[in-house]
């Protein structure tokens, strides 16, 4: 509650937080709020311009673009949330274990992490898709694994510093087990930086998810996704430029809100950073 | 300094081996019979068998692995499933095209971000700074495939000034370079600004002002020279991002680069080409990282003279 | 105080910081004068506004800080300028900084730019104020390094700050400050960050330079021992105001303001009243954000009277050349 009160002081963060909540609301209720069937082909309305019937027009198969954008919101939210959870779980598990265990396990894990951090996320994601396949699950695994190194780093860093604290050493001396120490002493310290990193990661995940699907390596048609819709729209740029408006706007607004919310969460949880901004 | 160079060069070897190992693992990680995959789905049985033998897929794993590693070391990454040309031949010209795109975009991004970042820091918290901040935030939130499509529509279709795709003249470079460069510029401007704001708050800046140095000298000599240390690292990361972004940019503008080759090879299940592209991309990233580290060490007198 | 024209006159200076948490009155009405070739010691606890005053004299107040009132008159050879009226980033103040007024800082570790050679940083200061070519400036920089007692000045010229000890860096800072023969040197706690033995060396150096260069010094410190060895005149600041101002002997032998007396009691070697134990002053410096009626020292003062809490005392002469802002020494109106 205290968090919410402090967060609300940041006007920009609160405003875009509301937009982001709205977008998540749209995603959760997508099935019920689409004005038309997003999959229904209607060859009489191919490339129909925006009108009262189709607010954002219709695509090359005469499908209602607004409905497809709404459904794509759900697809994106599903993929990115799952990928985020996946990245947090793998990253935190590996990072905590590496930091706690120390020794060669730690140095091997950190070397590998350092090496992965050299590569751009989209590259890592593409490579994982090669193995996991261009399906919803494949994309979730790809994006999650590509983001995991960041979480490994943070989790390991915090674990290392907490491990040195007296109360943890006392707990170890008192014979507490590894699982107990990780869960009761180390996890509470990790959660804040991980939450901050997770919110900062969200816009990156959205951008990369749609980039993958733009490349044809994401969710496959006919399931709509913003990137994939834009890829299809590109082929009809001369005849029907209005096809790009809906997915482009939705994508940019989503990423913008997620970015600003991420900044605001970071400032709320780490007020020290604010002075530098 | 020499120790650092040697250490970093030694890092290259294991890293390359790790990548080759991963490429080898791809044969078996991807579901399906690797020999069938390499021969193509409709290949006659005899062809599949000959490939199985050539790669040694019927042999134990360590024999296959050893065979693959030695082949890669000799520069043989196999032949394309489709064109039947050696992978190296299709990959090399693509590397040059990607390098052109990435380097030009990065130069554009570096120039713009240094300029805007410094100006923003100089006018910290004043209207000019806020404008730069908002514009760069919008830039970060606009992926290349949105800005690229808008640019193509506006400049190529609506105004008819620039070609839509390809790379046959200098005019073909303008849209891809600026689209990709602008995204990088937006990201880097934010970071350059915060490095500069940080540097401008240091004590030695007050010393420089107390000497009677002009604001220009304070910002562009004293602060920038210090901020350059973190900025070089950022630019190195930025070059990595640019290469990552080039995959999408090349696809939008039909740029015959390594990224588009990689994506197409994945879509057409041409595994040797995919492996070749991953291999060279990885080597480029590792090399860029190495060069950035060395430049950093060279620029920082605390490392260079110790 | 010195006869004839003063070097710098500060009149009614008020510097406030406008922050999100409110207005901090860092300097709230300060007057003093420095005569040519004299050394003024400015004493006070941290947060009393002495560093902000020094920065104001340099024209180095940056937002959110603002000079609200007052003037800082610098007497140049041919004219008098008010530093408060100059554009802090303009040409005029830049010609004054470094050449008429130079400054050295508390932290020699961070005050030198880490990426430039020591010598080049001095050369830059010389070149900024003209009159010399690069090679001449180079020679001059080496002379200066020698003058501030840095051994092997030619080699040290090529050093980067991180290769020098704290004391050496502070010497290099002093060399840089003296490079254009300033008429006023502002030293903002120049010895605080140094070891005690190094402190003494730096003080000796500054005393020697003062004679050689005929420079006036504004010496800011919280250390009365340092003041005793350096200053001609002393002002004592408390919470943004000057509470006492007198020649150095007067301050030590006959402190008038209870705050100054408290400071004296807190020095080990100068416990004038022969107290056995050191007496720290009770309480803390009030927040600069607090808007308080009456004398700001009253809450901590053992002599506080009714009037002290109602009105703020002015800085008035209590003895010839000796002023104090305290009702104990003023006939209540």
Is C7 in CB contact (< 8 Å) with chain B?
no
CA A28 to CA A73: how far, in whole Å? 9
In-domain check, residue A5 = no
Residue with tokens 């290099």: C172
The 8-class DSSP code of residue C106 comes to S
- pLDDT tens digits for A49-75? 888 877 788 888 878 888 899 989 999
The pLDDT confidence band at residue A204, using thresholds 50, 70 and 90, is: very high
Which pLDDT score is estimated for B106?
94
Per-residue pLDDT, averaged over B268-295, amounts to 88
Which pLDDT score is estimated for C271?
45
Coil, strand or helix at B96? helix
Percentage of chain B modeled with pLDDT above 70: 99
C314 vs B260, residue with greater confidence = B260
Contacts of residue C111 in chain B, CB cutoff 8 Å?
Answer: 203-204, 206-207
Contacts of residue B226 in chain C, CB cutoff 8 Å?
Answer: 113-115
| Location of each CATH 3.40.50.300 domain in chain C | 8-100+182-329
The 8-class DSSP code of residue C5 comes to S
Is C129 in CB contact (< 8 Å) with chain B?
yes
Closest CA to B140 of A203, A24, A264, A22: A203
Question: Which residue of B129, B212, B215, B296 to mutate against C (max C Cβ within 10 Å)?
Answer: B212
Closest CA to A48 of A31, A36, A62, A68: A62
Question: Which residue of B122, B207, B215, B224 to mutate against C (max C Cβ within 10 Å)?
Answer: B207
Which pLDDT score is estimated for A271?
62
Q: Are C141 and C224 in contact (CB under 8 A)?
A: no
Contacts of residue B150 in chain A, CB cutoff 8 Å?
Answer: 244, 248
- Our measurement of the distance from residue C138's CA atom to the centroid of its chain's CA atoms, rounded to an integer in Å, reads 30
Among the partner-chain residues B144, B149, B285, the one whose CB lies closest to the CB of A118 is B285
Q: Do B263 and A215 touch (CB under 8 A)?
A: yes
- What lies within 8 Å, CB to CB, of B136 at 6+ separation is B116, B185, B186, B187, B189, B190
- What is the crossing angle of helices A136-163 and A187-214, to 10°? 150
- For residues B119 and B222, state if they share a domain: yes
Q: Count of CB atoms within 10 A of residue B186's CB?
A: 22
Looking at chain C, which residue has its C-alpha nearest residue B215? C89
B-C Cβ pairs (cutoff 8 Å, strict)? 72
- For residues B119 and B253, state if they share a domain: yes
- CATH number for the domain including A248? 1.10.3720.10
Is B15 in CB contact (< 8 Å) with chain A?
yes
Please state whether beta strands C22-34 and C8-19 pair in parallel, antiparallel, or not at all (unpaired): antiparallel
Is A255 in CB contact (< 8 Å) with chain B?
yes
Is C120 in CB contact (< 8 Å) with chain B?
no
- CATH number for the domain including B124? 1.10.3720.10
CA distance B241 to chain C (A): 28
- What lies within 8 Å, CB to CB, of A132 at 6+ separation is A138, A139, A141, A142
CA A151 to CA C309: how far, in whole Å? 58
- For residues B64 and B122, state if they share a domain: no
CA C86 to CA C82: how far, in whole Å? 7
A193, two tokens: 């930086």
CA C272 to CA B259: how far, in whole Å? 82
Per-residue pLDDT, averaged over C276-289, amounts to 68
CA distance B284 to chain A (A): 10
- The count of domains in chain B is 2
Q: Is the pLDDT of residue B107 over 90?
A: yes
Highest mean pLDDT among A45-54, B4-13, B33-42, C102-111: C102-111
CA A264 to CA A17: how far, in whole Å? 9
Domain interval for residue A187: 81-276
Q: Do B204 and C114 touch (CB under 8 A)?
A: yes
Per-residue pLDDT, averaged over C11-19, amounts to 89
- What is the crossing angle of helices C118-128 and B203-211, to 10°? 40
Which pLDDT score is estimated for C291?
72
Instruction: Look at chain B and count its residues.
Output: 306
- For residues B136 and B51, state if they share a domain: no
Per-residue pLDDT, averaged over C46-65, amounts to 87
Looking at chain C, which residue has its C-alpha nearest residue B126? C63
Which pLDDT score is estimated for C127?
92
The pLDDT confidence band at residue B122, using thresholds 50, 70 and 90, is: confident
Q: How far is it between the farthest Cα atoms of chain A? A: 77
Percentage of chain C modeled with pLDDT above 90: 31
Q: Do A122 and B30 touch (CB under 8 A)?
A: no
Rounded (5°) CA angle C144-C148-C151: 95
CA distance A6 to chain B (A): 22
Per-residue pLDDT, averaged over C102-106, amounts to 90
Domain interval for residue B41: 32-76
Which pLDDT score is estimated for C274?
47
Which pLDDT score is estimated for A275?
42
Which pLDDT score is estimated for C184?
93
Percentage of chain B modeled with pLDDT above 90: 33
CA A93 to CA A197: how far, in whole Å? 15
Closest CA to C10 of C98, C70, C96: C70
B89, two tokens: 């031949």
B83 vs A91, residue with greater confidence = A91
**Chains in contact with A, where contact requires at least 3 CB pairs less than 8 Å apart:** B
Question: Which residue of B17, B28, B137, B149 to mutate against A (max A Cβ within 10 Å)?
Answer: B149
In-domain check, residue B27 = no
In-domain check, residue B12 = no
C200, two tokens: 């003494």
CA distance C94 to chain B (A): 4
Q: Is the pLDDT of residue A220 over 50?
A: yes
Which pLDDT score is estimated for B291?
86
The pLDDT confidence band at residue C280, using thresholds 50, 70 and 90, is: low
In-domain check, residue B65 = yes
In-domain check, residue B11 = no
Per-residue pLDDT, averaged over A12-16, amounts to 86
Contacts of residue A216 in chain B, CB cutoff 8 Å?
Answer: 263, 267
Average confidence score pLDDT of chain C: 85
- The count of domains in chain A is 1
In-domain check, residue B114 = yes
Contacts of residue A259 in chain B, CB cutoff 8 Å?
Answer: 137, 140-141
Beta bridge partners of C11: C71
In-domain check, residue B4 = no
CA distance C126 to chain B (A): 9
Q: Is the pLDDT of residue C141 over 90?
A: yes
A87, two tokens: 């990245």
Average confidence score pLDDT of chain A: 86
B239, two tokens: 């070059």
B290, two tokens: 């190495």
Instruction: Look at chain A and count its residues.
Output: 277
Which pLDDT score is estimated for A272?
56
Q: Is the pLDDT of residue C4 over 80?
A: no
CA distance A234 to chain B (A): 7
The pLDDT confidence band at residue C224, using thresholds 50, 70 and 90, is: confident
Which pLDDT score is estimated for C295?
85
Q: Are C262 and C283 in contact (CB under 8 A)?
A: no
CA A210 to CA A207: how far, in whole Å? 5
What distances in angstroms separate CA C130 from CA B32, B209, C95, C134, C146, one per listed residue? Answer: 78, 16, 10, 10, 22
Closest CA to C17 of C322, C288, C302, C298: C288
In-domain check, residue B228 = yes
- For residues B59 and B113, state if they share a domain: no
Q: Is the pLDDT of residue C258 over 90?
A: no
B179 vs B80, residue with greater confidence = B179
Contacts of residue B282 in chain A, CB cutoff 8 Å?
Answer: 119
Residue with tokens 């990201």: B187
Please state whether beta strands C22-34 and C241-247 pair in parallel, antiparallel, or not at all (unpaired): unpaired
Highest mean pLDDT among A158-162, B44-48, B125-129, B244-248: B244-248
Q: Do B153 and A241 touch (CB under 8 A)?
A: yes
CA distance C177 to chain B (A): 8
What class does CATH assign to C8-100+182-329?
Answer: alpha beta
Q: Do A122 and B285 touch (CB under 8 A)?
A: no
Contacts of residue B30 in chain A, CB cutoff 8 Å?
Answer: 130-131
Mean pLDDT lowest for which of A182-186, B141-145, C175-179? A182-186
Rounded (5°) CA angle C201-C202-C204: 65
Which pLDDT score is estimated for A276?
39
- For residues B248 and B205, state if they share a domain: yes
What distances in angstroms separate CA B200 from CA B38, B225, B239, C58, C147, one per listed residue? Answer: 58, 11, 26, 18, 31
CA distance B306 to chain A (A): 25
Q: Do A215 and B143 touch (CB under 8 A)?
A: no
Per-residue pLDDT, averaged over C211-222, amounts to 90
Instruction: Look at chain C and count its residues.
Output: 333
- Which element (helix H / strand E) includes A136? helix A136-163
B296, two tokens: 């950093």
Is A18 in CB contact (< 8 Å) with chain B?
no
């Amino acid at each position: 509650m205290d968090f919410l009160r402090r967060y609300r002081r940041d006007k920009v963060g609160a405003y875009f937080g509301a937009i982001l909540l709205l977008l998540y609301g749209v995603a959760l209720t997508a099935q019920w709020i689409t004005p038309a069937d997003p999959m229904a082909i209607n060859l009489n309305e191919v490339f129909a311009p925006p009108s009262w019937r189709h607010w954002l027009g219709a695509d090359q198969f005469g499908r209602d673009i607004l409905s497809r954008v709404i459904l794509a919101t759900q697809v994106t939210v599903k993929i990115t949330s799952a990928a985020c959870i996946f990245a947090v779980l793998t990253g935190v598990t590996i990072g905590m274990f590496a930091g706690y265990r120390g020794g060669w396990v730690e140095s091997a894990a950190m070397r590998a992490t350092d090496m992965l951090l050299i590569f751009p996320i989209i590259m890592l994601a593409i490579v994982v898709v090669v193995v996991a396949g261009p399906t919803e699950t494949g994309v979730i695994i790809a994006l999650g694994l590509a983001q995991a190194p960041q979480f490994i780093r943070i989790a390991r860093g915090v674990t290392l510093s907490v491990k040195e604290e007296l109360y943890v050493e006392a707990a170890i001396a008192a014979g507490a087990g590894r699982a107990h120490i990780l869960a009761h002493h180390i996890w509470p310290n990790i959660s804040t930086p991980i939450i901050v990193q997770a919110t900062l990661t969200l816009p990156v995940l959205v951008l990369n998810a749609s980039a993958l699907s733009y490349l044809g390596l994401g969710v496959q048609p006919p399931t709509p996704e913003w990137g994939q819709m834009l890829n299809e729209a590109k082929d009809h740029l001369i005849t029907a430029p209005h096809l790009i408006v809906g997915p482009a706007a939705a994508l940019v607004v989503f990423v913008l809100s997620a970015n600003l919310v991420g900044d605001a969460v970071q400032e709320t949880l780490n007020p020290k950073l604010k002075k530098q901004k | 300094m020499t120790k650092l160079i040697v250490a970093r060069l030694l890092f290259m070897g294991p890293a390359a081996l790790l990548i080759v190992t991963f490429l080898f693992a791809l044969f078996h990680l991807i579901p399906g019979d690797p020999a069938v995959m390499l021969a193509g789905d409709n290949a006659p049985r005899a062809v599949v068998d000959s490939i199985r033998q050539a790669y040694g897929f019927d042999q134990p794993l360590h024999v296959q692995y050893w065979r693959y590693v030695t082949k890669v070391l000799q520069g043989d990454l196999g032949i394309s499933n489709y064109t039947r040309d050696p992978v190296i031949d299709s990959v090399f010209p693509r590397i040059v095209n990607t390098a052109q795109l990435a380097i030009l975009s990065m130069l554009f991004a570096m120039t713009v971000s240094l300029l805007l970042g410094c100006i923003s820091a100089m006018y910290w918290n004043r209207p000019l700074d806020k404008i730069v901040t908002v514009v760069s935030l919008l830039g970060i939130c606009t992926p290349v495939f949105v800005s690229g499509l808008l640019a193509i529509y506006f400049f190529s279709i609506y105004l008819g000034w620039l070609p839509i795709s390809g790379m046959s003249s200098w005019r073909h470079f303008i849209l891809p370079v600026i689209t990709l460069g602008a995204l990088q510029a937006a990201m880097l401007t934010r970071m350059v600004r915060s490095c500069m704001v940080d540097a401008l708050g240091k004590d030695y800046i007050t010393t420089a002002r107390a000497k009677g140095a002009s604001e220009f000298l304070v910002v562009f000599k004293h602060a920038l020279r210090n901020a350059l240390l973190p900025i070089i690292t950022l630019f190195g990361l930025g070059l990595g991002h640019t290469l990552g972004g080039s995959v999408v940019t090349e696809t939008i503008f039909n740029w015959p680069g390594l990224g588009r080759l990689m994506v197409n090879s994945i879509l057409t299940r041409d595994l040797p080409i995919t492996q070749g592209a991953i291999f060279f991309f990885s080597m480029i990233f590792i090399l860029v990282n190495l060069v950035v580290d060395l430049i950093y060490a060279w620029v920082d007198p605390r490392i260079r003279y110790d | 105080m010195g006869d004839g024209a003063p070097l710098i006159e500060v009149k009614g200076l008020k510097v406030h910081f406008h922050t999100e948490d409110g207005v901090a009155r860092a300097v709230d009405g300060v007057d003093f004068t420095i005569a040519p070739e004299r050394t003024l010691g400015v004493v006070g606890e941290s947060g009393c506004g002495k560093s902000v005053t020094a920065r104001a004299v340099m024209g180095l107040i940056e937002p959110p800080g603002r000079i609200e009132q007052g003037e800082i008159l610098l007497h140049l050879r041919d004219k008098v300028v008010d530093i408060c009226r100059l554009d802090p980033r303009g040409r005029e103040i830049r010609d004054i900084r470094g050449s008429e007024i130079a400054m050295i800082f508390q932290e020699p570790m961070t005050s030198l730019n880490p990426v430039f050679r020591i010598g080049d940083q001095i050369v830059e200061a010389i070149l900024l104020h003209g009159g010399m070519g690069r090679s001449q400036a180079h020679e001059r920089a080496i002379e200066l390094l020698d003058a501030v007692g840095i051994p092997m000045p030619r080699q040290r010229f090529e050093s980067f700050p991180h290769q020098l000890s704290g004391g050496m860096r502070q010497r290099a800072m002093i060399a840089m400050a003296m490079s254009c023969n300033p008429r006023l040197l502002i030293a903002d706690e120049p010895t605080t960050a140094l070891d005690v033995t190094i402190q003494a060396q730096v003080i000796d150096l500054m005393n020697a330079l003062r004679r050689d260069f005929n420079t006036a010094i504004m010496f800011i410190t919280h250390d009365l021992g340092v003041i005793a060895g350096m200053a001609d005149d002393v002002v004592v600041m408390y919470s943004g105001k000057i509470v006492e101002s007198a020649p150095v002997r007067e301050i030590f032998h006959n402190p008038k303001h209870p705050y100054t007396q408290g400071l004296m009691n807190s020095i080990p070697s100068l416990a004038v009243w022969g107290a056995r134990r050191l007496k720290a002053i009770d309480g803390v410096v009030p927040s600069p954000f607090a808007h308080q009626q009456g004398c700001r020292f009253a809450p901590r003062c053992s002599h506080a009277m009714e009037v002290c809490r109602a009105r703020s005392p002015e800085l008035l002469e209590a003895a010839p050349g000796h002023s104090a802002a305290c009702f104990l020494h003023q006939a209540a109106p």
